[in-house]
Amino acid sequence: MKIGLTFDLRSWYLDRGYSMDETAEFDKQETVDALENSLKIMGHETEPIGNTFQLIEALAAGKRWDFVFNIAEGLYGEGRESVVPAILDQYKIPYVFSGPVIMGLSLNKHIAKLVVEAAGVPVSPGYLIADVKDSDKYKLNFPLFVKPVSEGTGKGITEKSLVNTPGELKLMVKWILKEFKQPVLVEEYLPGREFTVGITGSGIYAQAIGGMEVICLNNLPYSVEVKENYQDYCKYKPLDADIADECKSVALRAWNALEAVDAGRIDLKTDRNGRICFIEANPLAGLNPIHSDLPILSRMYGIEYQELMEIIMDAAIRRIKEQD
């Protein structure tokens, strides 16, 4: 099978003047190389396509593929992760990972929480603020956690994201509105343990392949800076036996509520009473073989990178065949 690879290569954007912040979610060449090598080991013919701009150029030139392995994050807007899947849908080219609706829904953390909560999955109370004057409009119990509604990789999260007073809340809301130009998600702070669970498949075939607890030193928030230097700031450990089943159950319920497919991660945290709550979904999880959370937690359960890629491809191919 001829498989194209869509991805956002960080160096491509940096060479064209984009900033480090704008490209924080993008991949290194080693990730693309690992994916391509894995697909070749499976016996597929591969063709690196690149980002949205390069995909459009390739399609306009008449290129087509049997399948596309898509890890392109997109550049701007709440629909940025939806762009490549939406384009491929128009050309009826099947691809790995969720479609444009699910990508957009999951990127908006507020809407994702509403969908998941409606399915009976616990979440932290919260609301959206689009104007700084609305900072004290709603009543939640302090401390609160404040972040942009549609960012990934911990962007917009700092040590000041945890606020204890109305004044601190207003300052953070003002900063996020100015810096990220999008609504602000304000939630009651979840003070307990933090977990991420890896999911493969979809619907009745969805399964939690493993999970890990994320322990940040000095209670640092799991921000983009911490994630990029996780060896210095974080410790990862497999789920403890007494909490593993509940973590996996909550994650699977959230995954299926969002109708995500093929593979990804669900992030969780415990509230004041020890109840495991949904934080956010990652239907386009990082796939760097060494540094990304999904491959890291998979290894903890004896699933090496090549096997993980084969599980993902098998799930995607089965899903596409069932749709035909």
The 3-class secondary structure across the chain, one letter per residue, is: CEEEEECCEHHHHHCCCCCCCCCCCCECHHHHHHHHHHHHHCCCEEEEEECHHHHHHHHHCCCCCCEEEECCCCCCCCCHHHHHHHHHHHCCCCECCCCHHHHHHHHCHHHHHHHHHHCCCCECCEEEECCHHHCCCCCCCCCEEEEECCCCCCCCCCHHHEECCHHHHHHHHHHHHHHHCCCEEEEECCCCCEEEEEEECCHHHCEEEEEEEEEEHHHCCCCHHHHHCHHHHEEEEECCHHHHHHHHHHHHHHHHHHCCCCEEEEEEEECCCCCEEEEEEECCCCCCCCCCHHHHHHHHCCCCHHHHHHHHHHHHHHHHHHHC
d(CA 184, CA 161): 11
The predicted model scores a pTM of 0.94
N residues, the chain: 324
- Cβ-contact 108, 82 below 8 angstroms: no
Cβ neighbours around 111 below 10 Å, total = 17
Least confident of 17-26, 30-39, 273-282: 17-26
- Amino acid at position 192, single letter: G
pLDDT of 57 higher than 80:
yes
d(CA 270, CA 292): 23
Mean per-residue pLDDT, 158-170: 93
So what's the pLDDT on residue 297?
97
d(CA 280, CA 254): 9
Which residues make Cβ contacts (< 8 Å) with residue 257, sequence separation at least 6?
A: 115, 116, 118, 119, 121
* Residue found by looking up tokens 């956010």 in the block: 280
pLDDT band, residue 152 (cuts 50/70/90): confident
Q: Hey, what are 220's tokens?
A: 């640092």
pLDDT of 135 higher than 90:
no
Mean per-residue pLDDT, 181-207: 96
Give the tens place of pLDDT for each residue, 246-293.
Answer: 999 999 999 999 999 999 999 999 999 999 999 999 999 999 999 999
pLDDT of 226 higher than 80:
no
So what's the pLDDT on residue 233?
81
Q: Hey, what are 48's tokens?
A: 């690196």
So what's the pLDDT on residue 120?
97
pLDDT of 217 higher than 80:
yes
- Cβ-contact 66, 3 below 8 angstroms: yes
So what's the pLDDT on residue 102?
97
Cis peptide before 183 (omega within 30 of 0): no
- Cβ-contact 89, 55 below 8 angstroms: no
Mean per-residue pLDDT, 161-175: 95
Task: Catalogue all structural domains in the chain, each as residue range(s) with its CATH number.
Answer: 2-95 (3.40.50), 105-122+191-323 (3.30.470.20), 126-188 (3.30.1490.20)
- In angstroms, what CA-CA distances link 180 with 77, 79, 83? 10, 15, 20
So what's the pLDDT on residue 239?
98
pLDDT band, residue 229 (cuts 50/70/90): confident
Over the chain, what is the mean pLDDT?
Answer: 94
How far from each other are the two terminal CA atoms of the chain, in whole angstroms? 17
So what's the pLDDT on residue 155?
85
- Cβ-contact 140, 186 below 8 angstroms: yes
pLDDT of 209 higher than 90:
yes
So what's the pLDDT on residue 137?
77
- Amino acid at position 221, single letter: P
Higher pLDDT, 181 or 137: 181
Q: Where on the phi/psi map is residue 17: left (φ > 0), alpha (ψ -120 to 50), or beta?
A: left
Q: What percentage of the chain carries pLDDT values higher than 70?
A: 99
So what's the pLDDT on residue 315?
98
Least confident of 58-72, 114-128, 149-163: 149-163
